[in-house]
Amino acid sequence: MSAARVGAARVVITGMGVRTAAGDTPDALWAALAESRPAAGPVRSFDATGFPVDVACEITGFDPAGYLTPKQAARADRSAQLAFCAAADAITDAGGLAAESGRRAVVTGTAHGGLRTLEQALLRQVDGVGRPRALYTPMVMSNAGAALISMIYGIGGPSLTLSTACASGGHAVGEGAQLVRAGSADVVVAGGHDAPLTPTNMVAMYRLGALATGFADPARSSRPFDAGRKGFVMAEGAAFVVLESLESAQARGARIHAELIGYGRNSDAYHLTAPHPAGAGALACMTAALADAGVTAREVVHVNAHGTGTELNDLAEARAVAELFGPGEVPVTAPKSVTGHAIGGAGAIEAVVAAMSVARGLAPPTANLTELDPRCELDVVTDAPRKLPAGPVLSNSFAFGGHNACLVLTPVEGRDL
């Protein structure tokens, strides 16, 4: 344990829930990752005929019934609906929220908030003015997911929302852990969500040159670290965890998925959309997370990479990982090869994947990697899950604006109690 954390509560994950195109439970998501089954497919949520981008990772058949009443669902954007369902599953998995209302907290992360509601209102313009519904404002606000979770689950403590682009979910989990560490809350529901698959947003990302296009097989479009990559595949999704102190979890006999022992966050302070080319910000963030965890790079058994499949991100992250751990010295995987990039939800989805790696002792393979870019000096896991020794797993989230978040998770067993 780092000197800065002496006396602080140890934070564990006792509940997990997800909504992704690759699976709507952690087990289903893990199966897709382990079997290298990419979720990317043709765009179906809108007519993409003649559209410049025709591939995405969409959640098919999503229905919040059973989680939200028809009235509640009608008042929530799809992004908030995904958030609530994932959070509800995490709470159920944890066996409920083991604290009184004022000692409960929720921290959400999202890049886009209620983007679908926003775009629908603007596309219905009359004389240059959008035609919003009466509940337009509360449906598009970024904190709508946090508000919905807090209201239905009686969370009377801190209710916070972070928006740091693609690092939002990672930051939400990390900041949630900080609330438990500091004694500001006894139990925290933390995670990220986004439903960014709208025509305008996808055209914007296409014009930015970020999205993968031109693959005959849509499932092959997301190719992190591959020499033939062309960008990322946009996805929708949400993931949440329940965080509480180790003491609380043990006292109530809760199942512990993993312990969150380290958190780093910083900024590249470099460019609006491009990472520092040498990965300086990513390297500093990973180093800070390991220092917070009180572990060395040599002790880390696996890196869950941000790995988007864009050239700039892949090269910067690969350089930072190789600098910190040594070229090819730590097993690396890129879940976005299967899940696509869920933007504000991505970091939380990958925190759940990292926790499952810890619990199972396995690193899932990276799909669609047929030729490693020689500039990426990494040991990327492919073909099948790789057995890992018990030890710390690092999960990376890096974002537009230079926002970085890194989480370190480990098994509770084997650590001093």
**Domain edges within the chain:** 3-251, 263-410
Which candidate in 341, 376, 403, 406 is catalytic? 341
What number of other Cβ atoms are within 10 A of residue 99's Cβ? 17
- Contacting residues for 120 by C-beta, under 8 A, at least 6 apart: none
What is the distance between the alpha carbons of residues 246 and 251, in angstroms, rounded to a whole number?
8
Look over the chain and give the mean of its residue pLDDT values, rounded to a whole number: 95
Superfamily of domain 3-251: Thiolase/Chalcone synthase (3.40.47.10)
Contact present, 358 and 257 (Cβ < 8 Å): yes
Task: Write out pLDDT tens, residues 279-302.
Answer: 999 999 999 999 999 999 999 999
What architecture is the 263-410 domain classified under in CATH? 3-Layer(aba) Sandwich (3.40)
Active site residue 166: yes
Which candidate in 57, 85, 166, 376 is catalytic? 166
Contact present, 286 and 324 (Cβ < 8 Å): yes
Q: Which residues pair with 404 in a beta bridge?
A: 266, 398
What is the distance between the alpha carbons of residues 321 and 341, in angstroms, rounded to a whole number?
20
Active site residue 302: no
Contact present, 322 and 378 (Cβ < 8 Å): yes
Question: What is the Cα Rg of the chain in Å?
Answer: 20
Which candidate in 257, 306, 376, 406 is catalytic? 306
Domains 3-251 and 263-410 share a fold: yes
From first to last of the 417 residues of the chain, give the pLDDT tens digit.
554 466 789 999 999 999 999 999 999 999 999 999 999 999 998 988 889 998 999 999 999 999 999 999 999 999 999 999 999 999 999 999 999 999 999 999 999 999 999 999 988 877 778 888 899 999 999 999 999 999 999 999 999 999 999 999 999 999 999 999 999 999 999 999 999 999 999 999 999 999 999 999 999 999 999 999 999 999 999 999 999 999 999 999 999 999 999 999 999 999 999 999 999 999 999 999 999 999 999 999 999 999 999 999 999 999 999 999 999 999 999 999 999 999 999 999 999 999 999 999 999 999 999 999 999 999 999 999 999 999 999 999 999 999 999 999 999 975 544
